[in-house]
Amino acid sequence: MGGKPYTQIPIAECGEALVPIPPSFVRLQPHPYQSLGAPYGSASPFYLRISVIAALERAQALLEPYGWQLAIFDAYRPIAVQQFMVTHTFATLCQEQGYDWQQLEPAIASQIWQQVYQFWAVPSSDPQKPPPHSTGAAVDLTLADQAGRPLDMGGTIDEVSERSFPDFYDRHPEQTNAACFAQRRQILYQAMISAGFQRHPNEWWHFSLGDQLWAWQMQQQTGQQHIIARYGRIDL
């Protein structure tokens, strides 16, 4: 359930350190997963690998002509946090759809799990199949103005709906402010791609650099099968 093709990509862990994201970046706080009680222990959701932070700084510089900056929603996730949030999302979707999550028919449970895993990575403990955020190489972010106020991107981060797909407003120009939201998503995308990141196929806010998902997307785009992941699961 929830298998992802990128988990077949080999990982050659480079051993690069996981460090705090600098204060020069806007952090969206209070952090929602911490507020729910997610088990971070001594870790922080505002950690990333050193080279990933350097790439974020390049992306941020590309946004300066627009008067915008990056606002970090979430970055590093221990496996326990990934499990916590996947379970929380499943329970939330059950509640929204009027089901008791503890008394679900298997067919309905399977349908809801498919919704969950359309956006969330499997919280696998297999070191060869780490969730992207558990590598310290994936980040969820949005655009903010110079005062640090997040821009309206036409949907909220982690929203389990079609609005989360990056091209939703390109495909639905009849939606209110569709052109504005499509343009903002494209500007964010171009800044991040220019800095070396790849975007999650289903999420306008999720970008990674050096993990399995990044390597799989690079292989798909270039046809170069030698591209593999350099960041595996990292535990604090």
Catalytic hit among 13, 96, 174, 203: 203
Name 203's Cβ contacts closer than 8 Å, sequence gap at least 6.
119, 140, 164, 165, 166
Neighbours of 35 (CB within 10 A): 9
Sign of CA dihedral 194, 196, 201, 204: negative
For the question of residue 13 being annotated catalytic, the response is no
User: 206, 140 in Cβ contact below 8 A?
Assistant: yes
> Which residue type is seen at 153?
M
Structure tokens at 102: 């503890």
User: 121, 133 in Cβ contact below 8 A?
Assistant: yes
How far is CA 186 from each of CA 11, 26, 61, 176, 190, rounded to the nearest angstrom?
Answer: 30, 20, 16, 17, 6
Identify the H or E element spanning 49: strand 47-49
What's the helix, strand, coil split of the chain in %, to 5?
40, 15, 45
Which residues are part of the catalytic machinery?
203
